[in-house]
Structure formats: structure tokens, C-alpha cells
Amino acid sequence: MIITIQQQTLDHIQTIEHYKQVLALLSWDTNTYAPKNSKKQLAKIQSTLATKLHLLQTNSDFRNNLELLLQEDLNELQRKIFNLHLKEFTELSSISIEDIQQFSLKKALTSTNWAIAKLNNNFQLVQDDLKEIIETKKRFANLKNPNLSPYDQLLNEYEPDILTKTIDPLFENIKSTIIPFLNQIRNVNSNLDTSFIKNPFPIEKQKILGKELLKSIGYNFESGQMGVTQHPFSAGIHSGDARLAVKYVGNNVKVGALMTLHEGGHSLYTQNINEKLVDTGLGKYTSMGFHESQSIFWEKIIGKHEEFWKIHFPFLQQHHPEVYKNVSFNQFFFALSEVKPSLTRYEADDITYPLHIIIRYEIEKELFTNEVNVKDLPEIWNAKYKNYLDIRPTNYSEGILQDIHWYSGSFGYFPSYLLGFIYAAQLREAIIKDYPNFDQLIAAGDFSTILQWQTQNIHQFGKLKSSKEILNSLNISEISERPLLEYLIQKYGRLYSTFALK
Amino acid sequence: MIITIQQQTLDHIQTIEHYKQVLALLSWDTNTYAPKNSKKQLAKIQSTLATKLHLLQTNSDFRNNLELLLQEDLNELQRKIFNLHLKEFTELSSISIEDIQQFSLKKALTSTNWAIAKLNNNFQLVQDDLKEIIETKKRFANLKNPNLSPYDQLLNEYEPDILTKTIDPLFENIKSTIIPFLNQIRNVNSNLDTSFIKNPFPIEKQKILGKELLKSIGYNFESGQMGVTQHPFSAGIHSGDARLAVKYVGNNVKVGALMTLHEGGHSLYTQNINEKLVDTGLGKYTSMGFHESQSIFWEKIIGKHEEFWKIHFPFLQQHHPEVYKNVSFNQFFFALSEVKPSLTRYEADDITYPLHIIIRYEIEKELFTNEVNVKDLPEIWNAKYKNYLDIRPTNYSEGILQDIHWYSGSFGYFPSYLLGFIYAAQLREAIIKDYPNFDQLIAAGDFSTILQWQTQNIHQFGKLKSSKEILNSLNISEISERPLLEYLIQKYGRLYSTFALK
């Protein structure tokens, strides 16, 4: 039997993808069911497999074959598959395996130290670690692509072709529109009592609600499952296995419900990628921002839609009458949507959420562009919160130590959250163009029409289309913050004028 | 840095063990939480990793290094590690990788067909598959060790150094003692009503009971977890990760409780292996029979002990008063222990259980020793059930299609169940020699003393000691069926004379 170079290369790619999938599964396990005493060994196993994966990805015969094949007459799919892996080869082989292993260790150690530091409200504990991580990230970014500034390179790893020069004007405009708008509504008083939202809501009941919500939006439980974890995530292993894990807070059903819809949105994306792409490397979300656009669409655009809760509010009243029998729909909906500056990103309302992200973006960019002393970070953070949100962290844990991202080496990631919100609003306009009765679809609980539209225009392609190609196919020329700002100001302007204390 | 051959070899072994551990984890996942639509892809991933593992195990440089090292001056631990892997090399490399892959496929296919055949009560559907599996197993056994008969080779893969000539007299004696004993007690009538045992017992409550039982016997939940599955198993991934999965039957708490103790017993073994052995290959149970001895010890010797249930029966009364408030302890204990020939192995009582195994052993041996026509198997099976248990399957599903073992290529496995029971009774005598107050330990709920004894004498060693070496260290010269027969006849003689309808 003669195996062609092309088949041999596709087989090699399949093996690479299998290793990625098993690593995703091990990461799911680590963060859900793995017993405490298994974690150290699990990390060793992951390291063995990650090293093997790296060797497969940076194999020089593989590179030669890819280059050879790319000179041939290929169809579009083949060309995209081979290009993707050649790009991966180039980036990965620019850094030595020893460097990668050492940095993995450093990141793991710093993540652990971060948890201790956060618990003890002690930034000094991780200050030097963080400094070292930033320096290493700069060095790696330069090695990967000396033609880009380090921070632009980092941005690109999450959002191809998006640079600071694209983001800066978008985020500036959002900031300068939202801050005055926030000041306008933050002092509006409502006569609706929303204190019930923090009443105890047993976790078992929250799980039942979460399952109900996921079913309703079209999450396929035969291609996924719901787990419990500390930091919510969706493990997009492949289209047949898009598990998600949620964190529940016993006295905050809002967090449980919205997080479930958020991770559900990520998982809908994965579940609806064309299964033929599974072992090619193209069977994944096209960019982090687009991945986030899908989670935010289901969490914020649908999951905070008045009509969505007109359907689901009776479920709350039926399953948790202790709290909900005396709560009106208006009270509930206002509690769900209420704008209230807080220090915590993942609990933030729709209006302040962009500001949480912009603060992190501005600090990251500064860290990688100019010389910032890491020891000054807590004060830089706190000053920005005071400036933009008019609240000020009183300790490190609520401030500079809030998120794990930087301490686990993720820089350039935060902007994806806001890019996702921006895309989501653009996609909302696009679907409304096709379905002017969008609100009625939601009112009728017809989420399958919406999901079908997403699948057809976005999900199915995986990495076959870039973010920009998807936008263009919907007659959107480029990323723009206008739809987001219009959506927010219209929605929250109306909400606050309706329920303002007259 | 110069890496010695020894270090290089130990590193290679560590990698091998990591692949085995990840495969064990994937198998756990497949059988517990993996969503339906992920299974096909999961099988492909497993195949990729299994192929890689096979290449690592049969690498010729690795073999050369092992042989080189074994000529050197080694300590006992080193010698055992290297010998184990050289043996593995020899067995695995006797069969080509293509043969192994093809047979894996055949086994997977036949397992699937078996499930369909069982559901449809149609043996003909898998008859030819089974024939092919038997022929391949014979061929492989001859390749692995031409000096042993194929069936002895298969036995050895589960229980080193145990041959048919050892088993035959043991099993013959058990059969000729138990059949008349069974006939003696099967017609004894009791005035205790045991029908309540098949009353509905909600699965959620069974889980709570199971957790309580596991806690009580010393299962460490920080090195394991309880899952739900169709075919109960314990995944002994390593000493820090001994997960178990149980099947619950809504109207049979006996199955849930005893299965939990059974898998708990397996897991206690794994959890208490010296953790220094983890990546050497020696960090596993020493033989299948010994593994089974530990599960049977906790399921049958402890879990069917009157004193054990004196502690736990109040839990049933408290958590499930609907059924248990009007049930006396004697009624419960008799229902738990009742001897009643049935067609299903995994539900069998202590007296008929050995006969279920002996039937399977006799058929397997015959299949591999003489020419048996596979199409005659259903009748051979049914005739033996009629002869030994005086009941006769009325369909294939309860008969020849009952267990998956043969259809998934496992021959030589069944005897381990009875060898385990035999060992368990021998170990019971040994612990009573050290703790003559054994019954009082159970009455006092002092299972930690028993577990400590097992850890010290059995568990900690993993594969460092063979079954025979462990027996010898307890002043037991060899495997013997006497303790089992004495235990059964004494226990069940007393039970039936106490509760016989006078």
C-alpha cells in the first residue's frame, strides 16, 4: 500500500488533533471531577502529552511536507488545513521546547501562588512572578513575530488581524459614551424592590433551572453535559462533545442562570461546527472574540431579553415559590438588568462590563508598550476604577488580584470579552435584518430559528472563515462599536425611564 | 547533562505509565460521563494513544537497554521494574501492530453486536464473531508463549503462575461440596418475609447510602469519586485516583449497596499502594484474582457480616422509613444473605456464586482445549445451569449472552472471580490469626484496623510481591479452597438453622 504525502500529512494532523482533544478532556477533568490527590499526577500526565504534541507539531518532516503540498494544486479546504498547521509550526518552533516547559512550570506555579495571594490579600507574594511572566511573554512574542509589537502579537493569538490600532478607537468611543450614560442612570431611583435576588436559592434547584434554560436554547445534551466547577468554562473538545461547567452561588440565581447561558452559548458554537472538520484543526471557533460573541449573544442579548424571561419566569415561581410567589415579573426583570457599578467583572451588568474590560486592556497595553513598574499596578488599577466607575477597591483581592488571567500568562485575552460584545451586537443587527420579527421569535420561544441562522452563517464554518469573512458575508464591512452603543443606550435608557421612581 | 541509560529507561517507563493512566481515564470517561455523540471520536482518540503506547512498549532500543541494565548490579526494586517491562515487551512484540489493531476493531464491533444480540435475544447474530475471536485468541496465545497451552496462557495473563492443573482440583472440590449443600438448604423455608427488599428505593437515596458505606470502610474521597454507570467498575488510575462507578437498580438496594462495597474494595487496594511505585509499572494490583479478593472481602466477608449491618441498618430505617420502619433487623439480614439459585451471575448469593463461575470456567477451558462447535454453546450453557443449579435459562439473553466478557475477547478472566473468593477466605483466616477479635472489630465499626492490616500485608506492595509471595508472607503455603468451604458452610449452615421455619 502506498500512502501519499498528502494522506500521510493528514494522518499526522489527525494525530495532532487527537492529542489536543485528549488534553482538552484532561483539562475538563482537572476542573470538574478529578479528586484532589490526583491533581499532581494529572499535571505530570498532561505535561507528557503536551510535550509529545509539541514534538508532533514541530516535526521538520511534517513542515517539509506541508510546504511541498502547499506548492501543489489544492482545493480551498486542503489549503486552509495545511496553512493552519504551517503557521502553528512556525510559531511553535520559534521557541525551544525547554523554554516552553520551563514557562509552563512557571505559569503553573504562579497560578497557585496567585490563589494563595488572593486568599491572603497579598500582592507582594506574586509581584516578582508576574514581572517574570511579563518579561517572558515579551521575549516569546518577539521570537514568534519580530514584525509586530509584542502586545499586537499577543492580541493576534486570540484575535487574528486585530491590532491595538483597531481596538483603540473602538474602546475609546465606548468609554466616552458609556461613562456619561452611566452617570446619568446610576442615580435614578426605582420603586422596585430587588433585594429578593440575593435570597437563598438551593444549588440543586439552580441546576434544574440551568438545564431547563439550556434545553430551551437548543443545547444538545447528547453532545455535552453540565458539570460543576470553580471557574465556569466550556470544554469544546469537538462538535460531538461540548461539555460545560458552571459555578453556582447559593444566594445568587442571577449568576447561575446567566453563566449557564454564557457557557451554553460557547457550547452551541462548538456543537454546530461541521463535523467533517473534526480532525483537521479547522473544527474550532474562528477567534476568541467570535467565540465570546456567541456566549454573550445567548447570555446578554437573549438571556437578558424581557421576552426570554416572560417564558422562564413562571419556572422560577413554580420551582422556588418560597421566594418568587410574591415577586412580580417587573421586579425580577429589573433585578436581572439593574445597572450598579461593582468591583467584580464576572458579576458586572451590561453597562459597566465594557468598562471592566477597558481598564484591563489599558493596563495590559501599557505593560507591554511602556516601562511600567509591576509594583505600581495595584494603584494604577484602583485609580482607573475610581475614574471610570467611581468606586475604588479597598484590597488587592478585589483589585489587581481579581482575575487569574495575567498570573497564568494570558495577556491579550481580556479584550476578547469586549470584542465579543461588539460582535454580538453587530450580529444582532444582521439577524434582525433577516428576521425583523426577532423579538417575536424570542417571545414565541423559537430559539431554533435563531440557532439555525447562527449555524448557517457562523458556527458550521469553524475556522474555515475568519471573523472578518463572516462579517463580510453578512454585509458588514468591518468591526464597529456603533451597534453595541445603540443597543445599550436604547435598552437601558428605556429600562430606566420605565422603572424610574416618578 | 549526561543522562544515564538507567535514567533514560526509567523516563521511558514513566512515559509508558502516563499513557496507560490516560487510557484508564478515557475508559472511565467513556463509561460514565461521556456524551453519546462523543463516543465514536473518543474511540478514535483511544486508538491513537493505544497505538502510541504499543510503539513505546515495543521499542527495540528500550528492549536493548532493559537487557543491558538487567545484566548489571541492581537492587530488587530496579530488577523488578525492568523485568516487568521486558516481559511486557516480549509478549507484545510477538504480535504485529496490524494484528492488534485489527483485533481491537473486531472486539469493539463484537461488543456492540453483543449488546444488540442480547437485546434481541439472538445468539446467531454474534455466533460467527465469537468463533473468530476464539480462533484469534488461540493464535495470539500460541505466539505469546508456545510453551503453554493457549488456555493456560490466557489464565496467566490474569493470574500469573496459576494453570488449569491448579484450578481443576480446587473448583472440582468446591462444586462437589457446594451442590449437595445447596440442595440441603434450598428447600428450607423461613418464616421471615423478605419481599420488602425489592421495594422501590430511590436512586438518590441509594447514592447517599453508598457514600456512607464507603466512608465507613475507609475509602478516601480525596483520592477518588463515585460515578454512575451501566457496568460497575473501579478505575484504578493510580493511588491518588481510584474512582469507582456503580449501577443502581431502583427496586433493589441490595445490588446498589453490595456493588458499592465491591468496587470500594477494589479501590481501597489501589488507594493504598505505595505511591512511590506510581510511574514504575509496579503500582498496580498484583493479579486479577488478588484484586478480586479485595473487592470480595469488602463485599462478602465484611459487607454481608451481621455486625456490619447492625451498624448500618439504622441508616436505612432513618433515610427510608417508608419501607424500613416495619422491617426487623433479622428480616433485613436474612434478605441480604438469602440463598436462591438465579440465572444472573452478578446478583448471585454467596453459595451459588461459585457455581456461576465454575460453569463459565468449564466452558472456556473446553473451548480452548477441545473442538467445541460455537453454535452448541447455548445448549452447553443451559445444560450446566440445569445440572448444577437446577434452573434453566429460557432465552439466550439470560444464558449464553449474559456477560460481555467473551464477546469483548476476555477469556481466562472469569476464574479470577472465584480465585478471588478463595483468596479472600484465606486472607480472612490470616487476619483472624492476627486479630482473633475480628468479629468485634467489625461490631465496633473499626474498619481502619482491618484496612491497615491489608495495606501492610497486601496493598502497599502493588506488583512488588506476587500472590504467592503475599500468601507465603502470611504463612500460607499455597492457594486452597478449604477456608472458603469452611466459611460458607459454617456461615450459611448457621443462618439457615437459625431462621429455618421450625
| Mean pLDDT value across residues A239-259 | 92
The distance of Cα B247 from the centroid of its chain, to the nearest Å, equals: 15
Q: What pLDDT is attached to residue B253?
A: 86
**A94 Cβ partners below 8 Å, 6+ apart?**
A143, A144
* B319 torsion bin: left (phi>0), alpha (psi -120 to 50), beta (else): alpha
- B355-413 tens-digit pLDDT: 999 999 999 999 999 888 999 999 999 999 999 999 999 999 999 999 999 999 999 99
Query: Is the pLDDT reported for residue A502 higher than 60?
Result: no
Q: What pLDDT is attached to residue B311?
A: 96
SS3 label, residue A233: strand
Query: Is the pLDDT reported for residue B501 higher than 80?
Result: no
The distance of Cα A193 from the centroid of its chain, to the nearest Å, equals: 32
DSSP of B232-267: -EEEEEETTEEEEEE---TT-HHHHHHHHHHHHHHH
* Amino acid letter, residue B153: Q
Element housing B429 (H / E): helix B414-434
Query: Is the pLDDT reported for residue B502 higher than 60?
Result: no
Instruction: Measure Cα distances from B192 to A21, B187, B251, B331, B500 in Å.
Output: 56, 14, 19, 6, 9
Element housing A228 (H / E): strand A226-228
How far is Cα A213 from Cα A311, in angstroms, rounded to an integer?
10
Query: Is the pLDDT reported for residue B342 higher than 90?
Result: yes
The one catalytic residue in A159, A263, A299, A338 is A263
Q: Cell numbers at residue A55, please?
A: 514534538
Active site residue A481: no
How far is Cα A419 from Cα A64, in angstroms, rounded to an integer?
36
Of A388-397, B46-55, B246-255, least confident by mean pLDDT is: B246-255
Nearest Cβ partner for A241 among B14, B38, B238: B38
* 3-state helix, strand and coil shares in percent for chain B, rounded to the nearest 5: 70, 5, 25
- Grid look-up 478463595 returns B422
Helix axis angle, A5-31 to A39-57, nearest 10°: 160
Residue B430: Cβ within 10 Å count: 20
| Mean pLDDT value across residues B458-470 | 97
Please judge whether A222 and B33 are an interchain contact, meaning their C-beta atoms are less than 8 angstroms apart: no
Nearest Cβ partner for B225 among A35, A220, A225: A35
Instruction: Work out the pLDDT band at A190, boundaries 50, 70, 90.
Output: confident
| Mean pLDDT value across residues A46-69 | 96
Please judge whether B49 and A18 are an interchain contact, meaning their C-beta atoms are less than 8 angstroms apart: yes
Interface test with B, best of A12, A18, A101 (most B CBs within 10 A): A18
Instruction: Measure Cα distances from A502 to A190, A195, A493, A499 in Å.
Output: 8, 20, 15, 8
Three-point CA angle A464, A465, A467, nearest 5°: 140
Nearest Cβ partner for B22 among A22, A34, A38: A22
Give the residue numbers in A contacting B (CB under 8 Å), as ranges: 14-15, 18-19, 21-22, 25-26, 29, 33-38, 40-42, 44-45, 48-49, 52, 220-225, 227, 237-238, 240-241, 243, 278-279
Residue B264 backbone phi and psi in degrees, to 5: -60, -40
**B215 Cβ partners below 8 Å, 6+ apart?**
B221
Q: Cell numbers at residue B252, please?
A: 433493589
Q: Are B284 and B236 in contact (CB under 8 A)?
A: yes
Specify burial of residue B282 (Cβ count, 10 A radius: 0-12, 13-18, 19+): buried
Q: Are B86 and B13 in contact (CB under 8 A)?
A: no
| Mean pLDDT value across residues B323-351 | 94
How far is Cα A456 from Cα A434, in angstroms, rounded to an integer?
13
* Amino acid letter, residue A184: Q
How far is Cα A496 from Cα A492, in angstroms, rounded to an integer?
6
How far is Cα B425 from Cα B436, in angstroms, rounded to an integer?
15
The one catalytic residue in B17, B91, B159, B263 is B263
How far is Cα B47 from Cα B53, in angstroms, rounded to an integer?
10
SS3 label, residue B500: strand
Question: What residues of chain B lie within 8 A of the CB of A14, using their CB?
Answer: 48
* Amino acid letter, residue A372: V
Interface test with A, best of B15, B45, B56, B222 (most A CBs within 10 A): B45
Please judge whether A35 and B237 are an interchain contact, meaning their C-beta atoms are less than 8 angstroms apart: no
* Amino acid letter, residue B38: S
What does DSSP say about strands B241-246 and B226-228: parallel, antiparallel, or unpaired? parallel
Instruction: Work out the pLDDT band at B72, boundaries 50, 70, 90.
Output: very high
- A194-210 tens-digit pLDDT: 999 989 999 999 999 99
Q: Cell numbers at residue B334, please?
A: 436474612
Residue B410: Cβ within 10 Å count: 19
How far is Cα B208 from Cα A274, in angstroms, rounded to an integer?
42
Residue A372 backbone phi and psi in degrees, to 5: -110, 135
Query: Is the pLDDT reported for residue B116 higher than 60?
Result: yes
CA Rg value for chain B: 23
Q: What pLDDT is attached to residue A498?
A: 87
Q: What single-letter DSSP state applies at residue B3?
A: P
Please judge whether B222 and A15 are an interchain contact, meaning their C-beta atoms are less than 8 angstroms apart: no
Query: Is the pLDDT reported for residue A64 higher than 80?
Result: yes
| Mean pLDDT value across residues A213-218 | 98
- A309-368 tens-digit pLDDT: 999 999 999 989 988 999 999 999 999 999 999 999 988 999 999 999 999 999 999 999
Query: Is the pLDDT reported for residue A182 higher than 80?
Result: yes
Q: Cell numbers at residue A191, please?
A: 420603586
- Nearest C-alpha in A relative to B225: A35
Q: Cell numbers at residue A480, please?
A: 464597529
- Nearest C-alpha in A relative to B39: A240
How far is Cα A45 from Cα B17, in angstroms, rounded to an integer?
9
Interface test with A, best of B19, B241, B279 (most A CBs within 10 A): B241
Nearest Cβ partner for A49 among B22, B35, B41: B22
Query: Is the pLDDT reported for residue A444 higher than 70?
Result: yes
Element housing A117 (H / E): helix A97-119
Q: What pLDDT is attached to residue B301?
A: 98
Q: What is the pTM of this model?
A: 0.93
In chain B, what percentage of residues exceed pLDDT 90? 88
Q: What single-letter DSSP state applies at residue B2?
A: P
Instruction: Measure Cα distances from B494 to B258, B384, B490, B499 in Å.
Output: 22, 28, 6, 9
Question: What residues of chain A lie within 8 A of the CB of B33, using their CB?
Answer: 33, 225, 227, 243
What does DSSP say about strands B233-238 and B241-246: parallel, antiparallel, or unpaired? antiparallel
Please judge whether A36 and B243 are an interchain contact, meaning their C-beta atoms are less than 8 angstroms apart: no
**A431 Cβ partners below 8 Å, 6+ apart?**
A438, A450, A453, A454
SS3 label, residue B317: helix
Instruction: Work out the pLDDT band at B1, boundaries 50, 70, 90.
Output: low
- Nearest C-alpha in A relative to B238: A38
Question: What residues of chain A lie within 8 A of the CB of B45, using their CB?
Answer: 18, 21-22
* Bridge partner residues of B500 (DSSP): B190
Q: Which of A97, A45, A56, A25 is nearest to B16 (CA)?
A: A45
Q: Which of A498, A502, A485 is nearest to A182 (CA)?
A: A485
| Mean pLDDT value across residues B196-221 | 94
How far is Cα A488 from Cα A469, in angstroms, rounded to an integer?
26
Please judge whether A40 and B240 are an interchain contact, meaning their C-beta atoms are less than 8 angstroms apart: yes
Q: What pLDDT is attached to residue B190?
A: 81
Q: Give the minimum alpha-carbon distance from B39 to chain A in angstroms, rounded to a whole number.
A: 8
Please judge whether A41 and B243 are an interchain contact, meaning their C-beta atoms are less than 8 angstroms apart: no
Question: What residues of chain B lie within 8 A of the CB of A49, using their CB?
Answer: 18, 22
DSSP of A417-432: HHHHHHHHHHHHHHHH
- A355-380 tens-digit pLDDT: 999 999 999 999 999 888 999 999 99
Q: What pLDDT is attached to residue B250?
A: 85
* B445 torsion bin: left (phi>0), alpha (psi -120 to 50), beta (else): left
Instruction: Measure Cα distances from A456 to A241, A288, A452, A461 in Å.
Output: 20, 19, 6, 8
Please judge whether A222 and B37 are an interchain contact, meaning their C-beta atoms are less than 8 angstroms apart: yes
Q: What pLDDT is attached to residue B267?
A: 98
In chain A, what percentage of residues exceed pLDDT 90? 88
